[in-house]
Amino acid sequence: MISLQTYLQERSAGIQKALDAYLPKADTYPPLIHEAMRYSVLGDGKRIRPVLTLAVNEMLGGGDGQAMIPACAIEFIHSYSLVHDDLPFMDNDDIRRGKPSCHKKYGEAVALLAGDALLTYAFQLLGTLEFSERSARLIREIAMAAGTTGMIGGQLLDIQSGKNRSNLEVLDDINRRKTGQLIKVSCLAGALVGGASPEQESRILRFGEYLGFAFQVVDDIIDGNGYLFFMNEQEARKKAEMLVDKAKDELSVFKTTGEKLRLIADSILERKC
Amino acid sequence: MISLQTYLQERSAGIQKALDAYLPKADTYPPLIHEAMRYSVLGDGKRIRPVLTLAVNEMLGGGDGQAMIPACAIEFIHSYSLVHDDLPFMDNDDIRRGKPSCHKKYGEAVALLAGDALLTYAFQLLGTLEFSERSARLIREIAMAAGTTGMIGGQLLDIQSGKNRSNLEVLDDINRRKTGQLIKVSCLAGALVGGASPEQESRILRFGEYLGFAFQVVDDIIDGNGYLFFMNEQEARKKAEMLVDKAKDELSVFKTTGEKLRLIADSILERKC
């Protein structure tokens, strides 16, 4: 069995190649928009969401071809959300993934359009999924996770709450929407293309839910905000560990086939950036 | 046979009702984003795109249920594009459809998110289409029309060209992308849900192409820009009339069933706003 590190490197490389191949070439007319799209997607990135889609699909014995489509579509959606969040009247971030953020490099107008284009392109790609009831459901689920009940809703609540989160419940709700839903739907995508049974699907969904939650707690530990306004670092780390344990428990029915995904769950706790 | 005016009033009212029903209620949590989405869609609007989808579908003898889904999805996409185009660093428009534009009413951050949400929601709605190869194709076609080869590409070229369009060819290209593609795909949507034959589909596509072009020329006559930099009003009107004639020619195979759509094409020339 290959090590987790080798596995993650291999999958990341495969995802990077697929993202590059799916995106229009940089010289496609009009070039500026395609350059900006590629700039925003193809930099360094942990690719945690597409890795989850591929790993869930593999756990179920699914082939690679179909899983790569939602994996990359979700990564395009994640990338668009970063481009729009970085805009001056949003989080106003000048640096993203170690490079100037999209609007710093291309200006606000192009960044707005590049984000819009990545979101649009994600659904164009999803429209190429092999045709089944499950594909149609997957399109709806991804749209819901990215929409006002999910990511966009979380972003709005985040803006409204300002830096002063009144209580832990509000913070949990924002995180569940802003980060959790897209991570959860990444797992669901793997379940749907991998042909999960209803029972398997429920477990994978709960796995994704706990994992998304843990991911955000670790994010806050790294950034020194969020949960650290309500607890100290040790308590936050305990919370994350407990969530990862709960996530792994959901995979107990998958004996050896679930091993890789359990290791991925553990690796969430090791993140340093 | 009912008059065109009555027909358009009835269809617009039906579309308005469907848009209202499909959109999340204004008090859905978090309410602010849903309010902003509804504000941006439910004002006055000509609803030319959804009317075209319904009318093409009717011409082919299709039922109403399925056509309303892409009709409203395309109107959501059109609405999102207006919200984003109105932003200060884009066209900086304070008034839209006789009311303060979305960012004037809700601020830039909420307007950005409301636009993102309408685009996302359009695809969520398209994911509810009755499941067929045609639905999957329709999702791809709408995404392409809204994407970098269509609307977003046109918007980018528009920004890059500034107010000084160097020549008529550039202007034609911008318009074909920025306005033409979405009008064309509105017609295609009616063809696909209405069960058009390949021959019928080609004609409907060309109809949509000429009509979208005519629509933009009339827009420029009303706004006193665009084509009026290259020709006088009389010449521009002649150009629009020629395009509408070409559009109607494509429908000649549809004898009496095509009558309504030919009248709609004529009505493009009568637009005053």
Q: What is the dihedral of CA A222, A224, A229, A232, to 10 degrees?
A: 70
Does position B161 have pLDDT exceeding 90, yes or no?
Answer: no
Q: Residue A246: what residue type?
A: K
Interchain CB contact of A87 with B (< 8 Å): yes
Q: Cβ–Cβ of B136/A152 closer than 8 Å?
A: no
Cα–Cα separations (whole angstroms), residue A115 to A77, A81, A122, B271? 9, 7, 11, 33
pLDDT range class, residue A105, cuts 50, 70, 90: very high
CA-closest candidate to residue B121, choices A156, A175, A146, A124: A146
Can you tell me the ipTM of this complex?
0.96
Confidence of residue B152 (pLDDT cuts 50, 70, 90): very high
| B109·A144 Cβ contact <8 A | no
- Which residues between 42 and 61 in chain B have a beta carbon less than 8 angstroms from any beta carbon of chain A? none
Mean pLDDT rounded to a whole number for chain A:
94
- pLDDT band for A123, please (50, 70, 90 cuts): very high
Residue recorded with tokens 């979405």: B182
Residues 174-203 of B with CB under 8 A from A: none
Average pLDDT of the segment spanning A65-72: 94
- How far apart, in Å, do the first and last CA atoms of chain A sit? 27
DSSP B108-150: HHHHHHHHHHHHHHHHHHHTTSPPSHHHHHHHHHHHHHHSTTT
In angstroms, the CA A220 to CA A214 distance is: 10
Burial class (CB within 10 angstroms; exposed 0-12, middle 13-18, buried 19+) of A115: buried
Q: What is the pLDDT of residue B241?
A: 97
SS (H, E, C) A14-55: HHHHHHHHHCCCCCCCCHHHHHHHHHHHCCCCCCHHHHHHHH
- Cβ-based contacts of A182 with chain B (< 8 Å): none
At B108 the pLDDT is 98
In the block, tokens 């796995």 appear at A207
Q: Does A145 touch chain B (CB under 8 A)?
A: no
Percent of chain B with pLDDT over 90: 87
By mean pLDDT, which of A17-26, A213-222, B74-83, B164-173 is the weakest? B164-173
Interface check B24 vs A, CB under 8 A: yes
Model confidence at A12: pLDDT above 80: yes
Q: Is pLDDT above 80 for B163?
A: no
Report pLDDT for B45. Answer: 82
Domain A4-268 is in which class?
mainly alpha
**Which has the higher per-residue pLDDT, A179 or A271?**
A179
Model pLDDT, residue B65: 75
Average pLDDT rounded to a whole number, residues A145-164 = 90
- The Cα of B234 is separated from the nearest Cα of chain A by a number of Å equal to 32
pLDDT at A164: 57
Quote the pLDDT of residue A268: 94
pLDDT at residue B162 greater than cutoff 80? no
> What does the pLDDT read at residue B43?
85
Q: Does B113 sit within 8 Å of A156, measured CB to CB? A: yes
Per-residue pLDDT tens over the stretch B210-228: 999 999 999 999 988 889 9
Q: What is the pLDDT of residues A228-266, one digit of tens each?
A: 999 999 999 999 999 999 999 999 999 999 999 999 999
Mean pLDDT of A101-115: 98
Mean of pLDDT values over B61-66: 84
| DSSP tag of B96 | E
**What 3-state class would DSSP assign to B229?**
helix
What are B228-238's pLDDT values in tens digits?
999 999 999 99
Q: Give the pLDDT confidence score for residue A46 in this predicted structure.
A: 85
Counted across chains A and B, CB pairs separated by less than 8 A come out at 138
Average pLDDT over residues A181-191: 98
Interface of A with B in 92-131 (CB under 8 A): 107-110, 112-113, 115-117, 119-121, 123-124, 126-129, 131
Identify which of B90, B136, B155 has the shortest CB distance to residue A127: B136
Q: Which residue of B has its CA nearest to A177?
A: B30
pLDDT for B165 equals 63
Chain B CA closest to residue A77: B120
pLDDT of residue B201: 98
- B86-119 per-position pLDDT tens digit: 999 999 999 998 899 999 999 999 999 999 999 9
pLDDT attached to residue A43 = 85
Instruction: Please give the residue of chain A at the shortest CA–CA distance from B124.
Output: A140
Quick check: helix, strand or coil at residue B88? coil
Indicate yes or no: CB of A136 within 8 angstroms of CB of B133: no
Residue A5's region, left for phi above 0, alpha for psi from -120 to 50, else beta, is alpha
Interface contact A137-B127, CB threshold 8 A = yes
Beta bridge partners of A100: A95
H helical segments located in chain A: 4-22, 31-41, 48-59, 65-85, 102-106, 108-126, 133-146, 151-161, 168-175, 181-193, 198-223, 233-250, 259-268
Across the interface, whether the CB atoms of A144 and B129 are under 8 A apart is answered no
- Give B29-45 pLDDT, tens digit per residue: 999 999 999 999 998 88
State yes or no: pLDDT of B242 exceeds 70: yes
The number of beta carbons lying within 10 Å of the beta carbon of residue B79 is: 26
pLDDT higher than 80, residue A209: yes
B33–A153 C-beta distance less than 8 A: yes
CA atoms A181, A182, A186, A189: torsion sign:
positive
**Which member of A116, A127, A152 has the closest CB to residue B113?**
A152
Element at A180 (helix H, strand E)? none
At B154, is the pLDDT very low, low, confident or very high (cuts 50, 70, 90)? Answer: very high
Nearest to B119 by CA among A147, A258, A34, A181: A147
Whether the model clears a pTM of 0.90, i.e. scores above it, the answer is yes
Provide the mean pLDDT of chain B: 94
Q: What is the mean pLDDT of residues B262-268?
A: 96
Examine the pLDDT at A106 and tell me if it is beyond 80: yes
